[in-house]
């Protein structure tokens, strides 16, 4: 998850770029870097999706789907200064972040319940 966040947080750096070429170069690099970061995240939560409690598994799947949705929205920002594109990306990121926070809460709760039973 850390690698994914490192990529997505660079949006502020891209936004602060002094010229279009620098901005597009950073956005393109972000787009290229986010794919492997999503892959790492998928591998990390694969067992959770397969073996975890149903609620945690469902939320892990949702996190995965929302993360994948960010990649094309990031690519759409390259060469496009419209506020609508950035709004779409920001909305999708917030939705991803909310799902991730929910997933972490559910996973912790499942671990606490499991720990109390032993």
Domain residue limits at 60: 2-117
Residues 6+ apart with CB under 8 A from 89: 11, 70, 73, 74, 76, 77
**Does position 68 have pLDDT exceeding 90, yes or no?**
yes
Q: Give the Cβ contact number of residue 13 at 10 Å.
A: 13
Stronger pLDDT, 94 or 44, i.e. the higher one: 94
Long-range own/partner contacts, residues 65-68 (CB < 8 A, 24 or more apart) = 66/92, 66/95, 66/96, 66/99, 67/4, 67/38, 67/41, 67/96, 68/38
Taking only the tens place, the pLDDT of each residue in 28-57 is: 999 999 999 999 888 887 777 777 788 988
Residue with tokens 């926070």: 101
Q: Could you tell me the pLDDT band of residue 100, with boundaries at 50, 70 and 90?
A: very high
Task: State the pLDDT at residue 116.
Answer: 56
Average pLDDT, whole number, for the chain?
Answer: 89
Give the whole-angstrom CA distance, residue 118 versus residue 112: 10
**Does position 118 have pLDDT exceeding 60, yes or no?**
no
Task: State the pLDDT at residue 45.
Answer: 79
Task: State the pLDDT at residue 88.
Answer: 97
> Across residues 91-115, what is the average pLDDT?
88
Prediction pTM value:
0.84
User: Structurally, how many domains does the chain consist of?
Assistant: 1
Looking at the chain, the whole-number percentage of residues with pLDDT higher than 90 is: 67
């Amino acid at each position: 998850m850390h690698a994914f966040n490192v990529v997505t947080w660079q949006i502020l750096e891209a936004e602060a770029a002094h010229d279009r070429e620098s901005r597009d170069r950073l956005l393109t690099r972000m787009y290229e870097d986010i794919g492997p970061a999503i892959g790492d995240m998928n591998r990390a939560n694969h067992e959770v999706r397969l073996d975890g409690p149903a609620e945690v598994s469902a939320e892990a799947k949702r996190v995965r789907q929302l993360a994948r949705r960010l990649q094309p929205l990031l690519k759409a920002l390259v060469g496009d200064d419209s506020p609508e594109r950035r709004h779409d990306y920001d909305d999708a990121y917030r939705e991803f972040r909310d799902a991730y926070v929910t997933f972490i809460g559910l996973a912790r709760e499942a671990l606490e319940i499991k720990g109390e039973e032993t």
